[in-house]
Structure 1
Amino acid sequence: MPVTQTLRNGAWRVVELITTPVVPADYLDVIAPLRNPNVLRARVEAVRHETDKAVTLELRPGRNWQPHQPGQYVRLGVDVDGVRLWRAYSVSSAAGRTDGRFTVTVNEVADGVVSSYLRKHARRGMLLTLDLPAGDFLLPATRPAKALFVTAGSGITPVMGMLRSAVHELPDVVVVHSARTKEDVVFGSELRDLAAKGHIRLIERHTRADGRLKAADLAELVPDLFERETWACGPGEMLDALAEHWADAGAEDRLHVERFRPTVLVAGDGGTVAFERSGVETEVPPGVTILDAGEAAGQLMPSGCRMGICFKCVLPMREGIIRDVRDGAVTTVTELDEPVLIQTCISASAGPCRIDA
């Protein structure tokens, strides 16, 4: 090892000893939040409005990010009025960008707190909490000879990620997309350009003029319907109807669907915390941290500074709702979400919680 590197490493260890339990990485997290190896964040680098209701966010992910596969989604933690709300959004950009960035496209929904907030307030420089990509709404490694994508509304977003990544690898593609009007079609100009160049056959249905797309309509629109490997994303009623239609034809193994169902948890004060692996369960009073309550109940708890700085107390929460005792920020995780790492030393239960410990 070169002498200069040895001296540098030695100096860094001395600084860590002096500042323990707060290490230099903790101070750097204040000025370089994407560096933190324990909390994955993303910075908004650009905001692009797709329609009156949809906005695309270009995100630069932080340390320990893992690139997505086309069709996958990420969960974003967005702080709205002091409450951290988690929502899942499909990645709409092509996979493998050389700049390491990716995009999500948010379509505002009625009474959608997070989607409305992001459409109205997302700005360059905004920090969001982030989870790793997830989901199995994917193209197979061996691309199908014939592909069909059936989407409605924001259901086009994962499909756009697939098309941007692999349309050149798909010899025969039909896209059936439904939106309220022509102007409401997210990525409308890009889809129409792909169709004009012969890369896809695009069938647009505008519900204001044409009515809702029905499963029975597809046989007329796509005569070789059941010969195609099909991916569908959109409202639950549409997906249920498609699943029934494909099952009746004995072709259910050719239909792949993606569903997102929001679940609302209401924050209270205190609650039951269950440590699933050990079987320990304890009732946590309001304002008592999960770390303190767990130790009092006999649960073996990792810990360090006990001030929310060193991240040695972090454990995965599978489901539940917690409140940060420092600023009151609320974080929720539903049974449909991936587990979220929480700092037990500064987190109090705001309802029932399930901890992976």
Structure 2
Amino acid sequence: MSAQSAMSPGSWPSARTGRGGGWPGLGAALAAVSWLTSPLSPDDFLGLLDPLWSARHPAGRVTSVRREAPGAATLAIRPGRGRRGHRAGQYLPLGVEIGGVFHWRTYSITSPGTVRPAGEVTVTVKARSDGRVSPHLVHRTPPGTVLRVGPPQGDFVLPRSLPGRLLFVTAGSGITPVMGMLRTLARHGSTAPDCLLLHSAPSPAECLFRTELAAMERWLPWLTIRLTHTRTDGRLTGDRIAALCPDWRRRDTYVCGPSGLLDATERQWEAAGVRDRLRVERFHLAPLLPPGADAVGGRVRFTRDGPWVDAAPGTPLLAVGESAGVPMPYGCRRGLCLGCLVPLVDGRVRDLRTGELRGEPGELIQTCVNGAAGPLVLGL
């Protein structure tokens, strides 16, 4: 690991590039020769040659590890086939092999948002004292390590049309999604909105991205940063936010951090009648929606050559598979742990929490919160 160094002003607007991303024509070529390799698929052989070539189990290779603060590090990952672009503020599911078992966790993406499936993506991880995966990533994941990579997720993102003024309120590792937003806004140059970041960390030494934030404030005229430290200044409160940002009612605001901070800002913005200007990143369960008029269900194959199984509208694929006697992977059964991920071979699924339709071949599907939207083949 290497110590973080200050970035030059010209480094923010551009993301690092690398191989990966699009694989034009490869899917058609694999389909054409699949009969030669049955019962294994060409994808299985590609995965043996290089894990990054597999679409059935999308993966990425760690290219560098940079220490950000004590117990925290940024991992740069070069994804392989099936890479999708992401929006600043989203998070990335990572599958980490520990003791021969893959453990899935999600981490905020800190690299700039991109619509192009190319280049590296970075996540910044803070090791939890009671954690299993985060300490492994921070302390025992050298460059060259291959990780499983899921699709970017989350709606804590900047709007397509940027407002004139933005306020970011973060504490601890809550700054990670906002860092991706700031790096994205830096690409706008002088057209970026007026931004104020209020960030709280235990101490200066424990402040993530401290050196880069100082450099950004020096070189980006539209950005103002106010740092506080809980060990000397206390926690960020509503009164302190109002004192540091007198026009907070007139700014679109993004808040990420401990639940106490989220609760306090929600109460304050609600009382001021400006709750619609507030976005918070809160880890919560979204209830499954009742099936709508357009929820059609479908027939499902859980393996490429397995039998077809009927799936009723609004029924999670996990429940459909278990009812049919299929040995399905699972974890929390609530859409949190990512223990039920299965690659999509063909067809479309419907997110039973949001109604969103998805259908990218090779995409990892959470079977506990997705249902069939027509004929569907999974890759168990």
TM-score (norm 2): 0.69
**1:208–1:101 distance in 2 versus 1, CA, 3 Å:** same
**Residues in 2 aligned to 1:29 and 1:19: alpha-carbon distance in whole angstroms:** 14
Task: Using the TM superposition, give the Cα deviation of residue 343 of structure 1 relative to its aligned residue in structure 2, in angstroms.
Answer: 7.6
AA matched with 1:76: L
* Equivalent residue number for residue 71 of structure 1: 89
AA matched with 1:255: L
2:136 is aligned with 1:137:
no
* Equivalent residue number for residue 254 of structure 1: 277
**Residues in 2 aligned to 1:355 and 1:88: alpha-carbon distance in whole angstroms:** 18
2:183 is aligned with 1:164:
yes
**1:27–1:305 distance in 2 versus 1, CA, 3 Å:** farther
* Equivalent residue number for residue 250 of structure 2: 227
Task: Using the TM superposition, give the Cα deviation of residue 11 of structure 1 relative to its aligned residue in structure 2, in angstroms.
Answer: 12
Check whether the contact 1:22–1:305 (CA below 8 A) recurs between aligned residues. no
- Pairing of 1:239-318 with structure 2 (within 5 A): 239-260=262-283, 301-304=301-304
TM-score (norm 1): 0.73
* Equivalent residue number for residue 125 of structure 1: 144
**Residues in 2 aligned to 1:117 and 1:44: alpha-carbon distance in whole angstroms:** 13
Check whether the contact 2:94–2:107 (CA below 8 A) recurs between aligned residues. yes
**Bigger radius of gyration among the two:** 1
AA matched with 1:23: S
Question: Match for 1:116 among 135, 141, 151?
Answer: 135
Task: Using the TM superposition, give the Cα deviation of residue 317 of structure 1 relative to its aligned residue in structure 2, in angstroms.
Answer: 5.7
Task: Using the TM superposition, give the Cα deviation of residue 29 of structure 1 relative to its aligned residue in structure 2, in angstroms.
Answer: 1.1
2:200 is aligned with 1:178:
yes
**Residues in 1 aligned to 2:49 and 2:213: alpha-carbon distance in whole angstroms:** 40
* Equivalent residue number for residue 229 of structure 2: 206
Question: Match for 2:44 among 11, 15, 26?
Answer: 26
**1:187–1:300 distance in 2 versus 1, CA, 3 Å:** closer
**Residues in 2 aligned to 1:152 and 1:174: alpha-carbon distance in whole angstroms:** 14
Task: Using the TM superposition, give the Cα deviation of residue 65 of structure 1 relative to its aligned residue in structure 2, in angstroms.
Answer: 1.6
Task: Using the TM superposition, give the Cα deviation of residue 52 of structure 1 relative to its aligned residue in structure 2, in angstroms.
Answer: 1.1
Check whether the contact 1:144–1:170 (CA below 8 A) recurs between aligned residues. no
Check whether the contact 1:77–1:86 (CA below 8 A) recurs between aligned residues. yes
Check whether the contact 2:73–2:124 (CA below 8 A) recurs between aligned residues. yes
**1:331–1:31 distance in 2 versus 1, CA, 3 Å:** farther
**1:220–1:304 distance in 2 versus 1, CA, 3 Å:** closer
* Equivalent residue number for residue 190 of structure 1: 212
* Equivalent residue number for residue 93 of structure 1: 111
More deviation, 95-104/62-71? 95-104
**1:46–1:162 distance in 2 versus 1, CA, 3 Å:** same
Q: RMSD across aligned C-alpha pairs, in angstroms?
A: 3.6
* Equivalent residue number for residue 58 of structure 2: 40
**1:176–1:10 distance in 2 versus 1, CA, 3 Å:** closer
AA matched with 2:194: D
* Equivalent residue number for residue 80 of structure 1: 98
Check whether the contact 2:331–2:337 (CA below 8 A) recurs between aligned residues. no
**Residues in 2 aligned to 1:145 and 1:152: alpha-carbon distance in whole angstroms:** 24
**1:19–1:229 distance in 2 versus 1, CA, 3 Å:** closer
**Deviation sequence 1:99-123 (CA, Å, 0-9, x none):** 5211000012231211111111111
Task: Using the TM superposition, give the Cα deviation of residue 136 of structure 1 relative to its aligned residue in structure 2, in angstroms.
Answer: 1.1
**1:317–1:181 distance in 2 versus 1, CA, 3 Å:** farther
**Residues in 1 aligned to 2:75 and 2:137: alpha-carbon distance in whole angstroms:** 9
**1:317–1:156 distance in 2 versus 1, CA, 3 Å:** farther
AA matched with 1:200: L
